């Protein structure tokens, strides 16, 4: 708990938390505006109203989330490298893997808050704009969890990458490359491509159904834990020389 | 003798380069130990090993009877350190930077003001660290090392970047520390003239090898024995280093 408080204090004036919250607000605003403008076109699609609500707006929301994660992950370790603060941390009686875990947790909770904001907007739209009796709260909650879980591999991967490079342009470049390659390959049916964390995040956005793809969820959980474990191991064993 | 820091054949190799070569230093409790050597002599690497920042290739050391890596956290709790350049969070003020360290060390709040006052940074405590001048960053780094008045201080060239009056001030501060609160200081420099004014004992390092260890009087004595003038210790230091360099070249030729 103390490590978490210290970590939150370190992030003062960095914009790590505001950037993800801003993404959440922006995503929610996009959902409102987009549905308002395209309501008739969207509801005219040959899809169930809940599928329209959850899958047709998620593409842009997901891209916002993705860039929010990339930027926040870059910033969360840049603050350690700028001014060589991380060197001081190694000289203090504290757990460096603990610091890594706290950064991971802060980003996870903030991302969850952003996704919650976006889905609150979807809930409001669903209750007020979908045909009477077609809004399903359970489906929305299920999709919220699905979009959160499939976003986590990118977060876990980006925290790992940004923790290993002092130059912030490297993780930022990796993030952009991940986005472009993920977008190019996301619609492929080959399950093996889901080892690419960005493709997993794209899965709910390219699907036509709001029903979670359990294979993607499984890949997401394995990758999240794998990158987190790798990051913790590196934080413990590959130290500053 | 009661040594608070003792190294035994400490060695650090990077591929084909030996940065620290079988160094055995002995730092007396409550003393100021000056670690001297030209740039690249291995002073910082030795200090980094003492702080667990880099693992020794060979040899071992004890700090207050404790050993790395088993007692890492206990050792770091006793040491205030300043290695190479000052390390700080650019997005935080001086005070907030010290508060982060204070929280990690579990110290009381008033230790921040104490440390800022010791290094003469009290009036700039609320300025963002990224807006500090080089000298102020140096002082902030020192304040971080002095926070909570730790029993051991490891300072690597702490006067780098300071103006003459700043150097004088920090030198006087370091000199007063053992009397002020009973601590031991291991300080490095490449200037004997600086170390001469504050250290009780010195160790001279060149190309990773410890050429001399003892008190300043011992150094004067061995200078006289070697037929050198003991009046100017800077010259003594330089000639010791030059002799070692010449011997190295000779060995390399053979």
d(CA A21, CA A26): 9
Domain extent at residue A15: 2-237
H runs (alpha helix) in B147-189:
164-181
Q: For B180-211, write each residue's pLDDT tens digit.
A: 888 999 999 888 888 888 899 999 999 999 99
Q: Establish if A236 touches chain B: CB-CB under 8 angstroms.
A: no
- CATH tag for B3-253 (out of 3.30.70.1070, 3.40.50.300, 2.20.25.90, 1.10.3720.10): 3.40.50.300
- Tokens 């250290």 label which residue? B199
Nearest-CA distance from B52 to chain A in Å?
8
- If pLDDT is split at 50, 70 and 90, which confidence band does B86 have? confident
Q: Establish if A4 touches chain B: CB-CB under 8 angstroms.
A: no
What pLDDT was estimated at residue A62? 96
Of B77, B86, B92, the CB nearest to A12: B92
Q: For A104-146, write each residue's pLDDT tens digit.
A: 999 999 999 999 999 999 999 999 989 888 999 999 999 999 9
Is pLDDT of A240 > 60?
A: no
Q: For chain A, what is the domain count?
A: 1
Q: For B111-123, write each residue's pLDDT tens digit.
A: 999 999 988 899 9
- Tokens 């969820």 label which residue? A217
**More confident: A5 or B249:** A5
Nearest-CA distance from A63 to chain B in Å?
28
Quick check: A91 and B51 CB within 8 A? yes
- If pLDDT is split at 50, 70 and 90, which confidence band does B173 have? confident
Residue of A nearest to B45 (CA): A241
C-beta neighbour count of A14 within 10 angstroms? 19
Quick check: B101 and A88 CB within 8 A? yes
Quick check: A83 and B77 CB within 8 A? no
Task: Report the candidate in A120, A122, A143 with the shortest Cα–Cα distance to residue A217.
Answer: A143
Nearest-CA distance from B14 to chain A in Å?
11
Residue of A nearest to B47 (CA): A91
Q: Establish if A94 touches chain B: CB-CB under 8 angstroms.
A: yes
Quick check: B53 and A90 CB within 8 A? yes
Q: For B41-74, write each residue's pLDDT tens digit.
A: 999 999 999 998 888 999 999 999 998 878 888 9
Q: For A16-32, write each residue's pLDDT tens digit.
A: 999 999 999 999 999 99
**Angle (nearest 5°) at CA B188 between B182 and B189:** 130
Contacts of residue B172, defined as CB under 8 A and 6 or more positions apart, other chains included, come to none
Contacts of residue B158, defined as CB under 8 A and 6 or more positions apart, other chains included, come to B82, B138, B141, B142, B170, B174, B187
d(CA B150, CA B181): 9
Is pLDDT of A171 > 70?
A: yes
d(CA A113, CA A240): 33
Contacts of B92 in chain A (CB under 8 A): 9-10, 12-13
């Amino acid at each position: 708990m103390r490590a978490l408080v210290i970590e939150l204090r370190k992030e003062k004036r960095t914009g790590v938390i505001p950037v993800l919250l801003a993404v959440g607000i922006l995503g929610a605003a996009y959902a409102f505006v987009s549905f308002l403008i395209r309501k008739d076109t969207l509801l005219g699609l040959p899809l169930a109203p809940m599928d329209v609500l959850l899958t047709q707006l998620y593409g842009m929301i997901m891209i916002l989330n993705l860039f929010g994660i990339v930027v926040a992950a870059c910033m969360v370790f840049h603050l350690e490298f700028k001014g060589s603060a991380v060197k001081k941390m190694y000289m203090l009686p504290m757990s460096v893997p603990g610091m890594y875990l706290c950064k991971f947790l802060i980003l996870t909770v903030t991302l969850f808050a952003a996704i919650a904001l976006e889905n609150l907007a979807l809930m409001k739209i669903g209750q007020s704009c979908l045909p009477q009796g077609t809004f399903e709260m359970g489906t929305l909650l299920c999709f919220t969890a699905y979009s959160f879980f499939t976003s986590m591999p990118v977060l876990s991967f980006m925290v790992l990458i940004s923790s290993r490079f002092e130059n912030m342009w490297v993780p930022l470049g990796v993030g952009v490359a991940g986005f472009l390659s993920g977008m190019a390959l996301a619609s492929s049916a080959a399950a093996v491509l889901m080892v690419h964390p960005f493709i997993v995040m794209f899965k709910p956005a390219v699907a036509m159904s709001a029903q979670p793809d359990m294979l993607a969820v499984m890949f997401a959980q394995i990758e999240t834990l794998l990158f987190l474990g790798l990051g913790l191991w590196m934080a413990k064993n590959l130290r500053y020389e | 003798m009661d040594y608070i820091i003792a190294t035994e054949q400490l060695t650090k190799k990077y591929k084909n380069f030996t940065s620290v070569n079988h160094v055995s230093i002995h730092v007396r409790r409550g003393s100021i130990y000056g670690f001297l050597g030209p740039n690249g002599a291995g002073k910082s690497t030795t200090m980094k090993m003492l702080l667990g920042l880099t693992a020794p290739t060979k040899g071992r050391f004890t700090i207050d009877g404790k050993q790395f890596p088993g007692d890492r956290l206990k050792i770091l709790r006793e040491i205030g350190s300043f290695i190479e350049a000052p390390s700080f969070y650019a997005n935080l003020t001086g005070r907030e930077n010290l508060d982060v360290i204070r929280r990690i060390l579990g110290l009381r709040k008033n230790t921040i003001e104490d440390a800022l006052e010791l290094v003469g940074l009290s009036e700039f405590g609320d300025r963002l660290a990224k807006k500090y001048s080089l000298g102020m960053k140096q002082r902030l780094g020192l304040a971080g090392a002095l926070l909570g008045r730790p029993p051991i201080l490891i300072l690597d060239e702490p006067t780098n970047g300071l103006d003459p009056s700043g150097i004088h001030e920090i030198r006087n501060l370091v000199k007063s520390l053992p009397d002020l609160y009973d601590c031991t200081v291991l300080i490095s420099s490449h200037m004997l003239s600086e170390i001469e004014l504050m250290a009780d004992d010195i160790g001279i390092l060149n190309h990773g090898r410890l050429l001399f260890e003892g008190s300043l009087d011992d150094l004067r004595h061995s200078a006289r024995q070697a037929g050198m003038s003991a009046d100017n210790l800077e010259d003594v230091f330089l000639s010791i280093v030059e002799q070692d360099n010449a011997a190295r070249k000779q060995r390399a030729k053979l």
